[in-house]
Amino acid sequence: MAHFFTADTHFADDPVRRFFDRPFASVEAMDAAMIARAGVVGPDDDLWIIGDFAACESDAGRMAAQAGFAALPGRKHLVRGNHDPDWLVRALPWASVHDLVEIGIGERRFVLCHYPLVTWNGARAGAIQLFGHVHTRWRGAEGQVNVGVDQWDFAPVTPDQAELEALMLPPSRLHQMAEGVETVAE
């Protein structure tokens, strides 16, 4: 069993496709590409969707959300985002649903929340915060990684990829201030 992370799929959400200039000719092409790129997830793997799974305000959107869910491989967990309505939580057979969750994978700790946090449980001990929500606007900072599809070529992220990215990103001044770390004035 392996774990994979993604966020901000926005299945059936043509306004998001256009606003963030996603490189697909149609929302159907976007949805198909995300499903194809999720093919790395096996049937016994855990796929953590860290918010904003689908656009669901219409019957067509609800049907597309259900179709996208059914087409994605693995056990699907939802960490709710601002575009995940109650009906979506109730109607789809999620393995689990959370607003924020901490998981351990081997010796590594991950804190999953749709929104980027200033600080999180275990930050000083190396826990990595995974988030979405900001699409193309911010990749993250040391110790926290945007796993949104807009940042990762519309494919899920492995724990190893997330950990490497968390080590390579620059420190966050806000995180340092919240943790009481002295910062040098620029």
Which residue, 62, 64, 119, is CA-closest to 90? 62
Contacts (Cβ under 8 Å, ≥6 apart) of 14: 26, 27, 55
**CATH superfamily, domain at 3-178:** Metallo-dependent phosphatases (3.60.21.10)
CA distance 112 to 161: 15
Q: What is this structure's pTM? A: 0.92
Tokens of 131: 């988030």
> What residues does 129 pair with on adjacent strands?
111, 144
CA distance 142 to 185: 19
* Segment among 10-14, 112-116, 175-179 with least mean pLDDT: 175-179
Share of the chain above pLDDT 70, in %: 94
pLDDT digits (tens, 9 = 90+) for 53-83: 998 778 888 898 899 999 999 999 999 999 9
Tokens of 59: 């019957």
